[in-house]
Structure 1
């Protein structure tokens, strides 16, 4: 196995130095499937493979630097990601005194990956062909994730998946005897949110000005993705659909579509809120509880936020990176925040960076989303505009869904958001005469 992997790495590096964009495509695939290796093979932390890919790609880019347009990095998205990385780096001296090892683990997803991935998109994916390739890759990988989820639901679990449940995953992934499907993602929350965001992406693309057979395939895929969201049992994924749909409808610039879309969305919410139709299906019943303000887990989360708020009242810069969540339990057991579950990426940012850092982060995301909407609004090519709307709605859905779960900071959602935002900023370079 070592010899085979070594030989494949040599071949990969040869191709990488001929065309570094191959490395970014390989990284995209890896970010979707490395959970399979972690569960079925184990032995090493496969998440480190992301850094290995990024290191190799950046080495190739630096060596071949004359081939790339480095001026393309002079944009607001890259600048803001750099500012956020610097803020994250400075958190190492947070006066709350969180563990350096916890900081090192947390900064990877919070600050390092975006500032390493986004510039690569501007340098390596600067063509319409690369845009289409990326869309095909992520939709295909999400479809494979759906198939694996269906396998878990109707056929059974692999040895690695069963071990994941036995070693503690069963507490959150088997409720009332019903499996919350997680496919090859880290958990059901990540799987459900991803399936919801790709449902919306496929629907937006399906109503775009493309060949009929492509639109048919996308509609079928959207139906399967939606079912994958349901069997994940992830209630927060509903808001990825709602918020993402709002962005998609708004960006179409079509009054009829806006009215029809809002009507469908309101009818769907009314169906969930005011009827009991479909309660015989556990998946529909669980999705319906997302709109119940008296739902037990929602109240637990609200109480946790109150506790964190009281603790942070005298700590405007938070408790430091890695002080809460998984890395808090492992490296900061002596810190109070490590005993409280964040249950949300927004809350996690608030706890780690304090109200000062959270305000900067939230305003930064809102500014990026606002500029993306402005860019999309001015795109003339209808086909390109629908692709950007699909990407924007996906990013918006993942961001707002992260209020309920840690989604935006985990793979593959983290990579999808980074690459999609970069493509939106790149899209004016792909814009040509309006399609007839």
Structure 2
């Protein structure tokens, strides 16, 4: 009788009794899959892991922010490969869950007084301005406002305070840099796979649905890797390439320098195959920021000459013209480029239209959400082609001045903090973060980059780490006056 799995004895009671509920759940799951399809089965498998993950966030809220950093890189490719779920809303969910994990954490160890600083308050003010835009006289769609608001301000106002609370150790800079450099390098490798082997079925379906007209030019693929599109891929790769280059020339050990150098070259190649001309601004802006903050005239002069020489080769020679990626990059310096002329013409149209609208036409009235939810608005039919233009159109000249002034203030104060940093290793890492963030801000003049993932997440957390850095710096030497 002991061979019977349902026979209960003192020896095997605990082991075999679980076969009864297991059998019950197996039958129930089989019935649900038969009635509802395989998607229900996948959901049933995923739900226990989701419950475990949510529990982990409440136990260790820091986990939520780290997963958010990784998720910002991969959410776009998830959306391409799995139809149905709105994976973009997963970013919102992770941030909100992490905040809930902090509020209900049993330790109560989080010091909210550290959030009383100008970086957090600037984010709160911009969020408030965005909320006021609901009452814009142009009466934009609320759904358009909601979806645009997420990238325009929600991720900004949620992620920066979280970073202050959860990434407040000196080693967190290394952790953050390691994550984003690794994922960017993998992105470059995956992009090379798309170029030489080809896109997969899901990616090809996305191209055929409409993206092909901007991602296949003259029979050549503009690589987008696992990012949302080629423009974001190229800009993010340029941002990380210049960050790696700055780290590679810093006061690190030879092993680290070599790793940073290899990663920088690989990611730079990823930028080239994206065919994103605007990414040049991220390289130039980030490089110039580093040269200024280096405090060394020799490096500033040498770096400036190298940069001018690089731009000169692109502008005045035909070197590398046989390479499609280099040739497309060269067009970014051509004032007669047809694409540039179209952009300038659109800006002239917007200038006339917005002349009597100092507060713009409302958040979500131009760009993707404008064409989706505000088709009745004239402005929704004009492509912004630039984050600067988009902010100007949505918030008006008043809002644009506030936004641009905020960018200048944050960049200036970041530079001031780095200028006073005494620890040379920490200083080099901060220059990398500041150079990458400044490059993305400049790059956003040509493309909508700062309001897209993962670039916006990298910039927001970079700002926060720079603000936190004075507490990690080498203590100032005290001199005794006799």
Q: TM-score range by the shorter chain?
A: over 0.9
Q: CA RMSD in A?
A: 1.2
Query: In structure 1, what is the equivalent of residue 339 of structure 2?
Result: 297
| Larger deviation, residues 125-134 vs 342-351 | 125-134
Query: In structure 1, what is the equivalent of residue 144 of structure 2?
Result: 102
Three-state SS of the structure 2 residue aligned to 1:314 is: coil
1:34 and 2:72 aligned: no
In 2, Cα distance between equivalents of 1:208 and 1:106: 39
1:156 and 2:198 aligned: yes
1:420 and 2:462 aligned: yes
1:344 and 2:386 aligned: yes
1:138 and 2:180 aligned: yes
Three-state SS of the structure 2 residue aligned to 1:322 is: coil
Query: In structure 2, what is the equivalent of residue 128 of structure 1?
Result: 170
Query: In structure 1, what is the equivalent of residue 53 of structure 2?
Result: 12
Count the aligned residue pairs.
435
Spell out, residue by residue over 1:9-60, the C-alpha distance to the aligned partner (whole angstroms, 9 max, x if none).
2222232223211110000000100112101112111001011101110001
In 2, Cα distance between equivalents of 1:198 and 1:327: 29
Query: In structure 1, what is the equivalent of residue 448 of structure 2?
Result: 406
Query: In structure 1, what is the equivalent of residue 246 of structure 2?
Result: 204
In 2, Cα distance between equivalents of 1:13 and 1:331: 33
In 2, Cα distance between equivalents of 1:272 and 1:321: 38
Three-state SS of the structure 1 residue aligned to 2:343 is: helix
Spell out, residue by residue over 1:164-187, the C-alpha distance to the aligned partner (whole angstroms, 9 max, x if none).
110001100000000000011111
| TM-superposed deviation, 1:129 | 1.7
In 1, Cα distance between equivalents of 2:171 and 2:260: 19
Spell out, residue by residue over 1:46-95, the C-alpha distance to the aligned partner (whole angstroms, 9 max, x if none).
00101110111000111127211111111111011100000001000000
Give the number of the structure whose alpha-carbon radius of gyration is greater: 2
In 2, Cα distance between equivalents of 1:17 and 1:130: 20
Three-state SS of the structure 2 residue aligned to 1:67 is: coil
Preserved contact between residue 77 and residue 228 of structure 2 (Cα < 8 Å): no
Query: In structure 1, what is the equivalent of residue 189 of structure 2?
Result: 147
Query: In structure 2, what is the equivalent of residue 183 of structure 1?
Result: 225
Query: In structure 2, what is the equivalent of residue 248 of structure 1?
Result: 290
1:229 and 2:271 aligned: yes
In 2, Cα distance between equivalents of 1:70 and 1:128: 19
* Structure 1: tracts of 5 or more residues without a match: none
Pairing partner for 1:24 from 65, 73, 90: 65
Preserved contact between residue 423 and residue 473 of structure 2 (Cα < 8 Å): yes
| Larger deviation, residues 176-185 vs 8-17 | 8-17
| TM-superposed deviation, 1:96 | 1.1
Tell me the TM-score normalised to structure 2 length. Answer: 0.89
Query: In structure 1, what is the equivalent of residue 29 of structure 2?
Result: none
Pairing partner for 2:88 from 35, 41, 47: 47
Preserved contact between residue 207 and residue 215 of structure 2 (Cα < 8 Å): yes
In 1, Cα distance between equivalents of 2:424 and 2:312: 33
In 2, Cα distance between equivalents of 1:391 and 1:75: 20
Q: How do 1:314-353 and structure 2 match up within 5 A?
A: 314-353=356-395
Tell me the TM-score normalised to structure 1 length. Answer: 0.98
| TM-superposed deviation, 1:213 | 1.0
1:360 and 2:360 aligned: no
| TM-superposed deviation, 1:232 | 0.4
| TM-superposed deviation, 1:111 | 1.1
| TM-superposed deviation, 1:433 | 4.8
In 2, Cα distance between equivalents of 1:5 and 1:195: 32
Three-state SS of the structure 1 residue aligned to 2:108 is: helix
Spell out, residue by residue over 1:107-163, the C-alpha distance to the aligned partner (whole angstroms, 9 max, x if none).
111011100000001100000122211110111111111111011001110111101
